[in-house]
Chains A and B, each alone.
Chain A
Amino acid sequence: MNHYRRESLAVAQRILIELLRRRRSLILWTIFPLSLLAINTMVISDRLQLPVSDTLSLVAPSVLVGAALFFSCLGGTVATIVAEREQLTLKRLFLSPLSGLSYFSGIFIAHCFIGFGQVFLVYLGVILWGGKFSGNIFLGAAIILLTIVSYVAMGFILSTQLARRTEDVNSIVAAFGIPLLILGGAFFPTQFFPKALLQLAEFNPVYHMNEALVGVGKNGDSLEKIAKHFSFMCGFAAFTSTLAWLAYNRMLDREKRL
């Protein structure tokens, strides 16, 4: 068990060091959720005639699960694995005793740091602008954690099965991501959706992530109240993690050669 912990932390630290080294990317990733938060708040506040503080509580969860975490955790995982394949460092890892589980957990831990960093950043913006997080912080953290697990697992599936080069990353994230995000209520509230679209959204994990976090963050909902979304998220996280593990092992069989 000890070696899993040591290996996972080594992988996580390595990913974070690489991220910190790319300072320009780091600045851009900071600008992205904050600009989205500001724009969405201004538009929705105006359209719904809501005070900015209330609008922030509505918009911040969507910006987080729908945009910031999606691109950093899903896009980031895809980029990490594709870069490992392109630089052939994955082969170096195959030569080492690093276990698949440690590799998966390492990527997950690194993206937890990145994800919770973004949560801190977005809610810092919310608080400075006069908004707040109304619900139970631990429940909010659990929703975010499940969101990160799901996104990292989806990133594993996409990167091991579909993306072979860096250029593939954008097209995959765009093809799978943007429709899911729009249908999940990431860019405008789901209350704008027609009934048919809402029925379709029920099958979209982003919708449940978004609804759960909006419920807790804006309305202070309890676990019972968001049980439907929360259980969907738990099931989805377990499902995608299993698929990710199978996809990773399939990739190992394919690429485990010098």
Chain B
Amino acid sequence: MLEIHQLCKAYGKRQVLNNLCLQISPGEVYGLIGSNGAGKTTTINILCNLLQFDSGKVEIAGCKISAETKRLIGVVPQENLMYKNLTCAENLHFFARIYGLSGAERKQRVRECLILVNLLDRANSVVENLSGGMQRRLSMALALVHHPKLVILDEPTTGLDVEARYEIWELIRSLQQQQITVLLTTHLLEEAERLCQRIGILKNGHLIAEGSIDQLSTVMPGQEVLIIKTEQEDLAIELAEQQGWQPRRYSNDLAFWLPIHYELQEILAIFTGVQMDAISRQPVRLEHIYLELTAQHRTLL
């Protein structure tokens, strides 16, 4: 559905995208994660034909990027970009008309979209009277109104409360069930972990790793992550290194990659003599993979 091959883009001397390669299959939910400035928004701008790229190839459903490919894409931007003085239905009708839907087909599609985002009962509510979560759901409906082949969700839950975030996640899952191809960018690793079939990690305009969580886990230095809180960190590190456990500092936490599964008693035995304030053993999560890979700059493709 989406094929990006050796995509390069520079702003002056600053190379923002550096030979980016990425493929998304039809019906797949693909997560693109990376820190600010990694190149996510530049990639989206190029896909939306808002920005010219320097070299490489970008195709959506087999079509090279052009003004026409805008019809193949639905975008949910970070902000709720919609007419606040219009109702939900009026916003949808307006954009449906822009995309060429008319008459009964348009009415039917607007209704379908309102049902999909659970806003049918608010169809005639003026947007400025809706909550942030509702506005974001409407933003998703606006992205879907013209039956796009690829939906781009640019940090779709940023600024939403937990409840609204879960609603958006449910919507994304329903897109997945309908076999709609989704490109999701997010800073919430939990979001990517829960929703995406494959994840690409972007750093300095280059994809440093890509795959499912399971695939990405296989290149990690361990099977579990142990987090401990102690005043005697030096001693803890010394004891862990004797076991071959690689120490890490994730935020303020001291962590160790455990190469195999250990029982809690075994772990406590290894740390005999260390005064522990807290200890937790976690399965490998996207957060650990992301921190590990972005710290090492390792190319795993």
Residues of A within 8 A of B (CB): 3, 6-7, 9-10, 13-14, 17-18, 21-22, 87-89, 91-98, 256-258
Contacts and interface: CB of A to CB of B under 8 A. Distances in A.
A6 B97 contact: yes
Q: Which 9 A-B pairs have the closest CB atoms?
A: A92-B81, A10-B97, A97-B70, A18-B85, A96-B98, A256-B50, A88-B81, A14-B94, A95-B75
Nearest to B70: A97
A98 B95 CA distance: 9
Interface residue tally of chain B, by bracket?
20 to 34
A258 B41 contact: yes
B98 A87 contact: no
A97 B154 CA distance: 19
Given A92-B77, A95-B77, A87 B48 contact: no
Contacts of B54: none
A79 to B, nearest CB: 12
Interface of B: 41, 44-45, 48, 50-51, 67-68, 70-71, 73, 75, 77-79, 81-86, 90, 94-95, 97-100, 102, 126, 142, 154
27 contacts: A3-B100, A6-B102, A7-B97, A10-B94, A13-B94, A14-B83, A14-B86, A14-B94, A17-B86, A21-B126, A22-B85, A87-B81, A87-B83, A87-B84, A89-B82, A91-B81, A92-B142, A93-B98, A94-B50, A95-B70, A95-B77, A97-B70, A97-B71, A98-B98, A258-B41, A258-B50, A258-B77
A6 B98 CA distance: 7
B94 A97 contact: no
Nearest to B77: A258
Given A10-B97, A258-B44, A21 B77 contact: no
Interface on chain A toward B: helix, strand, loop, or mixed SS? helix
A258 B126 CA distance: 25
Nearest to A92: B81
B67 A97 contact: yes
Contacts of B98: 7, 10, 93, 96-98
Given A94-B48, A256-B50, 5 more contacts: A3-B100, A13-B94, A92-B95, A92-B142, A97-B71
A47 B137 CA distance: 62
Contacts of B48: 94-95, 258
B77 A91 contact: yes
Contacts of A87: 81, 83-84
B139 to A, nearest CB: 9
Contacts of A14: 83, 86, 90, 94
A18 B83 contact: yes
A89 B75 CA distance: 13
A80 to B, nearest CB: 11
A17 B97 CA distance: 15
Query: Most chain-B CB neighbours within 10 Å: which of A91, A257, A258?
Result: A258
Contacts of A95: 48, 50, 70, 73, 75, 77
A92 B50 CA distance: 11
B99 A96 contact: yes
Contacts of B154: 258
Contacts of A94: 48, 50
Nearest to A88: B81
Given A6-B97, A97-B71, A257 B45 contact: yes
A256 B84 CA distance: 21
A37 to B, nearest CB: 29
A6 B100 contact: yes
B99 A97 contact: yes
A92 B82 contact: yes
A89 B70 contact: no
Nearest to B75: A95
